[in-house]
């Protein structure tokens, strides 16, 4: 039987061997019952940061087609401007009117020429993207000069051009006994003839020469009073883009119908010069559509050769200077119109 001393020595040796074994391994961590002997795979945590915003493009606001407001002139200045435009036609030659040339003028610039007259224009005045009209009025004493300027527009890819222009000028006598608001058309006003001088019959003939055609229209009815309109003269210049109509009194004198165009009211259709086909197209879309091209079967419109026995050349020579001469045509040439 082993002695107790021997047993004690053996235990001591075992303890020393265990200690030496532990000292040879330099563990990175102390293993405990709660720590597993095999390391587990750990996932590196993802950093939670705010996402970087992606730059966005802010579009530049492009200019719109809305034109800047155009100021109107005070009444007195607008009246002076109107008389100036009438006296020199805006320093341009027909078919240009007041600085606006059909087929060339930008529509916005054309409006800018007319809108300053707004304070002396009627309530119907105004413009849209497709065109518009201005109705300026000038009143002096008991006479009222009433005008109309209309613009039609042609839309191109990146612009709007004035396609054609209509122009109308009339004069009225304001007020009569018992009716101060009545307007009576006046066709023999010398003041009107002077103010509208660039557009009157003699001025047109002197400036543009012999027309392609001159037509007359009236009727063969009974006398309806001394101051009744009903005598029209129309001149055609298709190559120049000008149609001009003059309306005056119709009088019966010794079996003939008489008209005196010296101070007649004026209507015009203006189209681009050098485009006679386009001229005919525009005329066909107006109240004059049954007049041009000329046809010999219209009982209400007759050439000067047929109605007054004049050639266009003779008509030109007779009326290219200011004159008080009148035109007479046989009453039986014309249909009778009801009053």
For 306-329, write each residue's pLDDT tens digit.
999 999 999 999 999 999 999 999
Which has the minimum average pLDDT: 35-44, 113-122, 155-164?
Answer: 35-44
Q: Which residues contact 152 (CB under 8 A, 6 or more apart)?
A: 130, 131, 162, 163, 164, 165, 166
Which has the minimum average pLDDT: 45-59, 180-194, 195-209, 212-226?
Answer: 45-59
Measure Cα distances from 328 to 22, 79, 162, 187, 205 in Å. Answer: 145, 38, 39, 17, 20
What is the pLDDT, as a whole number, of residue 179?
67
Quick one: average pLDDT of 43-52? 46
Task: Return the ∠ at Cα 97 (arms to 91 and 102), rounded to 5°.
Answer: 120
pLDDT at 298 over 90: no
State pLDDT tens for residues 255-275.
899 999 999 999 999 999 999
The residue to which tokens 């004690």 are assigned: 8
Quote the percentage of the chain above a pLDDT of 90.
Answer: 60
User: pTM to 2 decimals?
Assistant: 0.78
Sign of CA dihedral 106, 112, 117, 121: positive
Q: What is the mean pLDDT of the chain?
A: 82
pLDDT at 43 over 60: no
What is the pLDDT, as a whole number, of residue 35?
40
Which has the minimum average pLDDT: 49-58, 77-86, 129-138, 294-303?
Answer: 49-58
pLDDT at 54 over 80: no
**Chain-centre distance of CA 339, in angstroms?**
38
What is the pLDDT, as a whole number, of residue 42?
44
pLDDT at 195 over 80: yes
What is the pLDDT, as a whole number, of residue 336?
84
Q: Which helix (H) or strand (E) holds 330?
A: strand 327-330
Closest listed residue to residue 131, CA positions, set 160, 94, 97: 160
* Lookup: tokens for 11: 């235990």
Quick one: average pLDDT of 126-138? 93
What is the pLDDT, as a whole number, of residue 225?
63
Residue 161: pLDDT band (50, 70, 90) is very high
> How many beta carbons lie within 10 A of that of residue 4, not counting itself?
8
**How far is 40 from 46, CA to CA, in rounded Å?**
18
Question: Between 274 and 9, where is the model more confident?
Answer: 274
């Amino acid at each position: 039987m082993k002695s107790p001393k021997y047993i004690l020595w053996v235990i001591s040796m075992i303890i020393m061997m265990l200690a030496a074994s532990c000292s040879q391994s330099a563990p990175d961590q102390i293993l405990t019952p709660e720590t597993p002997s095999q390391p587990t795979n750990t996932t590196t945590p993802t950093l939670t940061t705010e996402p970087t915003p992606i730059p966005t493009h802010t579009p530049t606001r492009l200019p719109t087609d809305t034109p800047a407001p155009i100021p109107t002139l005070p009444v007195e200045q607008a009246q002076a401007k109107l008389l100036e435009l009438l006296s020199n036609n805006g320093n341009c030659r027909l078919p240009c009117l007041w600085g606006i040339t059909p087929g060339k003028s930008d529509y916005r610039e054309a409006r800018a020429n007319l809108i300053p007259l707004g304070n002396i224009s009627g309530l119907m005045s105004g413009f849209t993207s497709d065109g518009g009209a201005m109705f300026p009025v000038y009143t002096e004493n008991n006479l009222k000069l009433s005008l109309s300027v209309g613009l039609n527009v042609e839309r191109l890819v990146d612009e709007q051009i004035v396609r054609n222009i209509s122009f109308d000028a009339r004069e009225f006598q304001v007020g009569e006994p018992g009716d101060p608001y009545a307007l009576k058309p006046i066709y023999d006003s010398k003041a009107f003839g002077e103010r509208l001088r660039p557009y009157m019959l003699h001025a047109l003939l002197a400036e543009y020469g012999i027309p392609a055609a001159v037509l007359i229209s009236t009727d063969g009815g009974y006398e309806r009073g001394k101051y009744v309109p009903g005598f029209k003269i129309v001149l055609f210049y298709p190559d120049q883009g000008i149609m001009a109509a003059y309306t005056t009194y119709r009088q019966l004198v010794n079996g003939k119908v008489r008209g005196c165009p010296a101070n007649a009211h004026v209507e015009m259709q203006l189209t681009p010069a050098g485009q006679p086909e386009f001229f005919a197209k525009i005329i066909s879309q107006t109240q004059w559509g049954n007049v041009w091209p000329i046809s010999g079967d219209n009982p209400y419109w007759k050439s000067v050769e047929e109605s007054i026995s004049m050639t266009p050349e003779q008509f030109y020579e007779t009326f290219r200077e200011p004159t008080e001469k009148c035109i007479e045509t046989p009453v039986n040439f014309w249909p009778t119109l009801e009053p």
